[in-house]
């Protein structure tokens, strides 16, 4: 059974969504693939929150770039991306985690993330069973 983790990631203040996406795709992902090597997850999926220029109520973090909220409040969506890592198994995840958290590798990733991610706002959770209904 696949083993998946979700991370809720927020960009650093002063970085636009376009800069955030570009940095994630063009700098962070190649570094992560290099650092993880053969332990890279089966899938690393990025889902970016759709934001537009404007004024939002109920949040100070993204007051000028509101999310297109369908249910809830702006403050519920102050993160900018949902990242899903999928591994073949819990054991594969543990190998990845140990491998990328050796001091040298962790320092490389953390140093790079500090350039565009507000790590103090990052959250992560293990997913349970995933069920998909298709047409």
Q: What residue has token string 């991306």?
A: 81
The one-character DSSP state at 104 is H
Q: Please write the tens of the pLDDT for every residue from 8-55.
A: 999 999 999 999 999 999 999 999 999 999 999 999 999 999 998 877
Between CA 27 and CA 8 the distance in angstroms is 19
- Residue 66 is predicted with a pLDDT of 86
Total residues belonging to the chain: 135
Calculate the average pLDDT of the chain.
93
**Percent of the chain whose predicted confidence (pLDDT) is above 90:** 78
| Region of poorest pLDDT, from 49-58, 74-83, 84-93, 125-134 | 49-58
Q: Is the pLDDT of residue 61 over 90?
A: no
Between CA 120 and CA 96 the distance in angstroms is 22
Q: Are 122 and 8 in contact (CB under 8 A)?
A: yes
- Residue 23 is predicted with a pLDDT of 97
Prediction pTM value: 0.90
Q: Is the pLDDT of residue 59 over 90?
A: no
Between CA 112 and CA 92 the distance in angstroms is 24
């Amino acid at each position: 059974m696949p083993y998946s983790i979700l991370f809720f990631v927020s960009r650093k203040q002063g970085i636009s969504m376009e800069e955030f996406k570009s940095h994630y795709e063009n700098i962070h992902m190649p570094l992560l693939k290099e650092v993880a090597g053969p332990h890279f997850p089966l899938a690393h999926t990025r889902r970016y929150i759709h934001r537009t220029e404007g004024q939002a109520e109920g949040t100070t973090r993204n007051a000028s770039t509101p999310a297109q909220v369908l249910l809830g409040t702006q403050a519920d969506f102050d993160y900018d991306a949902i990242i899903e890592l999928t591994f073949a198994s819990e054991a594969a995840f543990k190998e990845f985690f140990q491998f990328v958290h050796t001091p040298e590798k962790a320092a490389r990733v953390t140093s790079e993330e500090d350039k565009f991610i507000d790590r103090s706002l990052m959250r992560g959770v293990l997913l349970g069973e995933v069920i998909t209904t298709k047409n």
